[in-house]
Amino acid sequence: MTTGLIPGGQPPDPRPTGGLPPQTRHEPEPAPDGPGAPHDESRSRSSVITARAAASFDPVGRSVASARSFVRDTLQGWGYADIVDDAVVLTSELVTNAVVHAGTAADVLCLRADDGVRIEVSDRYPEREVPLQNAAVTMSGPDREGGRGLQLCAALATRWGVEYTPTHKNVWFQLALPERPVGTRTAGPSLPADLLPLADGRVRVAVIQIDRTGAINAWNEDAEELFGYQADLVTGKPLTDLAAWPHTPGTGTGIAEALQLSRWEGSYGIRDASGRVVPVYASHLRVRDTAGEPSTVCLLVRDHERAVLQTPLRHVSPDAPPAAEGQSADPFEIFIGSPAPDDLDGLLQRTVERARDMLDGDSAFLLLATDDETELEVRASTGLPSARQRFARVPVEAGPGRYGSARMPAVHDDLAAVPGAVPLLNGTGMRSVVTVPLKVEGRLTGSLGVAAEAPGRYSNEEALRLQFAADRIALAVESARLGELERLRRGSLSFLVEASDLLAGTLDRDQTLALMAQMTVPTLATWCAVYTIADQSSEPDLSYVLHEDEELIDGIKSLLSKIPPPDPVPTPGARVWSAPAEAAHQAALRSSMRSLGLGEPATVSSGIGPTLATAAAVGGETVVLPLVARNRVIGMLTLGKPTDEHFRQEILELAEDLSRRAALALDNARLYSERTAISQSLQRSLLPPEYPQIDGVEVEVIYRAAGEGNEVGGDFYDVFPIRDGVYGFAIGDVCGTGPNAAAVTGLARHALRLLAREGLSGPAVLERLNSAILDEGDRSRFLTLLYGELRTQEDGSAELKVVCAGHPLPLRLRPDGTVEAAAEPQPLLGVLEDLELYEETVTLDPGDVLLCVTDGVTERREGTRMLGDDGLADVLTTCTGLTAGAVAARIMRAVERFASDAPSDDMAILAMRVPGLQNA
């Protein structure tokens, strides 16, 4: 948004120039001088423009609220509070047309003249509704979405019009200033003496000045008397440390934000020196101090003396019919006609407060209907325990007869005679109540009620007054509710998208459970518990518990573990589960009885001993949502609120959507875990058991399978006894990876053991293995294999007979550091049917090392570089004097350091060493 303010002078015309001359659309012409007269360009420009303010707003929904604030602040700064309400309403409608319906940016221009204020709203969509010359103009109906802004212009503005250019459409309206006697700013209606507010002794007005950081820098004597603090004790402290702001969820403005507004009025509390909260009515005015720094002056009185500070209500329109003789205008009706606040909660709270004051009640409440009109949800109240009542739901049809329904006005002289007639007031001490419905186009949208502690306070006359007010506020409430619902749905979509991304990012069951709970607490609920069901014959298991206060998690887990879990009902939607609240209530009663030394009541079950804090944490509404995946209930998601709190319907619908996504993610994690366990079990069966201890020879093996979760790949190794004093060893590499390669691995390892123990020579063993691989047909894979038989000698050396069938050659390291190949290459297995293989004899003298590796070691790459046979030999030359285990570890470390990326191929290292004489 861009703004500009030019005080004084004649501003330039903000409308585009050039091209076709602007076209102007007018309402059907009334009397020339009456409201809604056709726009006369020369006449409107003849007035002296004394100030101009302009702003541009992007084509997004939040721009409408920004435009309202811009116009409100501008006119209040000019001292035109009398016309602010009308100007804001008209600007809101016109900017909505521009940024929402037309989808273009909106330019707002405010012009101050000696005879009033002109406001222009331009958009960049001129092709809409360009009027034909002399064509009749038809106004749209009040129930249609389009054209409502022009209807309001015709109803509220002194003059208005629509101008078109090739690039812009400009709607303007002009508001005349009310005539006032000299020296008069505004004036309220005259009231009889008995209707004047009663002051408590001397009326004290606390004057508190707040600097730009929110800290107090002035505190007058009346503030000291009202709140008990000396000025030196509070100077420099933030006002937020003393203010008891009504922290109602969904309220858009807090105390810190209110101090930043150009002007603000309302009720809150100040904690006095004794710790009590003093209800106050405050008027904030944003000013600049002598140094030019922003500052806020706060005037505060006791809440019941609000008439001292409260801004006078708007005057009734001159065109309104006069009130009956002896009957004054109803101030509540005038208030209802004023624009609604930007947020729904603020509008509802103001409504119940004014309703209570209008009927001189002790409490008031407002409920909004659900979409199906079967239940009403408490959204605002005053004089009632709001924390307990907020979002509580009551049925629309509360009892027999027309007075038991929220669809009709009802007056109850004494609730004690008809208990349960108004469920919301049960146990509140209220005796008489009047309730009226809020309806829009014949549809029930809510209910407004005022109650008193004394019986017989209300009659049909009060019901008619309240119904008239409800009829005037119903449309504004429904509009604000739909706006809030749209914001909630947009936020819900963002929440679900983020939740889906997080849940899809893991296949770990425990992490999925933790994510489910962390996404619901505290966004959707105060605490959460997840039950899982292993199979249809299993009982639900309490798998995860989370509370926004970590100190309460163990207590809640203990409480839930002592009560039966909820039934795994597959029916979609949230259902109330009363067991935790009942158990918490009994536990609290048990603790209280014990603290009083009165013993435990017989009705209280033993064994449940959470603290009172735990009992309070789960004492509110608890709902259970089934976790259904693939037509099976795999668990339950339990959400809870603290004592006397309820879930709102939109939150339950969002939780239901989340539960469906979480159930699928949890089931995917379960399937992945099961398949991983099966895969790992099968892979472990392909690994050889621990290799034998060979007297006089050190043997070490290091094996790394590529791929997450793999324990066996295409590479394999084995060391096994054949007969007394003779041991077989093998290291091989099957072409490819995955289950097919692992199958050939198992075939090769088991065939080698079986054939070698039959007494066959090395070449014969490999030839028969080659035939077995070829017999696999399409499933066969070629195989490189180094196979050998080892015999220890009496002189301390070891004799090896090896066959290298297409495998990387084994390397022998001598004590002097020389490295040489210990075999010759021969054909690999699984390709040719007739193989002619031969064995070679290698003698390992004391101190010699034989190193056997797979190609995953020699083909380790970093870009275009490869370790290769020469690189492996260079590393091996540095291993003289090391044990077989140290040699294998150094080779693996060198391979891992050669490249930064994770290995893409399986690797196996087999090192055998004959100890030297000094180590024997």
What's the confidence (pLDDT) of residue 886? 94
pLDDT class of 62 with cuts at 50, 70, 90: confident
pLDDT value for 716:
84
| Residue 135 pLDDT exceeds 70 | no
Taking alpha carbons only, the member of 59, 70, 83, 81 closest to residue 109 is: 70
For 559-593, give the secondary structure using H, E and C: HHHCCCCCCCCCCCCCEECCHHHHHHHHHHHHHHH
309 to 201, 224, 300, 794: CA distances (angstroms): 17, 19, 8, 112
pLDDT score for 312: 58
Confidence at 597, pLDDT banded by 50, 70, 90? low
Q: Using DSSP bridges, classify how beta strands 811-813 and 819-821 pair: parallel, antiparallel or unpaired.
A: antiparallel
> Is a pLDDT exceeding 80 seen at residue 507?
yes
Here the tokens at position 60 are 């997004």
Residue 672, exposed/middle/buried by CB under 10 A (0-12, 13-18, 19+)?
A: middle
pLDDT of residue 28 exceeding 60: no
User: What does the pLDDT average to over 55-81?
Assistant: 82
Q: Is the pLDDT confidence value at 154 over 50?
A: yes
pLDDT digit string, tens, across residues 283-310: 888 888 777 788 899 999 988 787 788 7
Contact (Cβ atoms closer than 8 angstroms) between residue 97 and residue 149? yes
**Mean pLDDT of all residues belonging to the chain:** 78
Of 30-44, 201-215, 290-304, 701-715, the one with minimum mean pLDDT is 30-44
Query: How many other β-carbons are positioned within 10 Å of the β-carbon of residue 583?
Result: 20
Average pLDDT over residues 708-720: 74
pTM over 0.75: no
Grade residue 884 by pLDDT with cuts at 50, 70 and 90.
very high
pLDDT at 363: 87
**Residue 141 scores a pLDDT above 90:** no
Q: Using omega within 30 degrees of 0 as the cis cutoff, is the peptide bond preceding 16 cis?
A: no
What is the arithmetic mean of pLDDT over 225-229?
A: 92
pLDDT tier for residue 872 given thresholds of 50, 70 and 90: very high
The answer on pLDDT for 488 being more than 80 is no
What percentage of the chain reaches a pLDDT higher than 90? 20
CA 520 → CA 320, 344, 829, distances in Å?
52, 24, 58
Please say if the pLDDT value at position 912 is more than 80: yes
CA dist., res. 66 & res. 57, Å (int): 8
Q: Which pLDDT score is estimated for 17?
A: 37
**b/e sequence 330-362, b meaning 16+ C-beta within 10 Å:** ebbbbbbbbbbbbbbbbbbbbbbbbbbbbbebb
Res 722: pLDDT: 93
pLDDT of residue 346: 77
Among 45-54, 168-177, 686-695, the range of highest mean pLDDT: 168-177
Angle between helices 509-520 and 649-686 in degrees, nearest 10: 170
Residue 918 has pLDDT above 80, yes or no: no
Q: What is the pLDDT of residues 805-853, one digit of tens each?
A: 999 999 999 999 999 999 999 999 988 888 889 999 999 999 999 999 9
Which segment of 532-536, 576-580, 606-610, 846-850 scores lowest on mean pLDDT? 606-610
The larger pLDDT score, comparing residue 596 to residue 642, is at: 642
Confidence of residue 779 (pLDDT cuts 50, 70, 90): low
Distance (Å, whole) CA 691 – CA 459: 97
Is a pLDDT exceeding 70 seen at residue 402? Answer: no
How confident is the model at residue 163, as a pLDDT?
84
d(CA 693, CA 142): 95
Cα distance between residue 426 and residue 418, in whole Å: 11
pLDDT tens track for 422-460: 777 877 888 899 999 998 887 888 999 999 988 888 988
DSSP 604: S
Among residues 868, 844, 870, 847, which one has the least CA distance to residue 857?
868
Q: What percent of the chain has pLDDT over 70?
A: 79
pLDDT tens, position by position, 648-668 = 777 888 888 888 888 888 888
pLDDT attached to residue 40: 42
Taking residues 847-871, report their average pLDDT: 90
Burial 190-206 (b: 16+ CB within 10 A, else e): eeeeeeeeeeeeeebbb
